[in-house]
Amino acid sequence: MTEPIRFVFNERGEKVAVVISIEQYEEILEELGDMEDLRAYQESKASGETGVPLEEALARTERSR
pLDDT, averaged in runs of 10, over the chain (65 residues): 87 97 94 95 88 89 83
| Alpha-carbon separation of residue 3 from 21, 28, 36 (angstroms) | 8, 14, 26
Phi-psi region of 20 (alpha: psi -120 to 50; beta: other; left: phi over 0): beta
- Euclidean distance between CA atoms 17 and 42, whole angstroms: 33
pTM for the model stands at: 0.61
Residue 57 lies in a domain: yes
Residue 58 lies in a domain: yes
| pLDDT for position 1 | 61
Residue 1 lies in a domain: no
| pLDDT for position 49 | 84
Q: Which domain holds residue 15?
A: 6-63
- Euclidean distance between CA atoms 40 and 16, whole angstroms: 32
Residue 14 lies in a domain: yes
Question: What is the tally of structural domains in the chain?
Answer: 1
Residue 24: other Cβ atoms inside 10 A: 14
Secondary structure of residue 18 in the 3-state scheme: strand
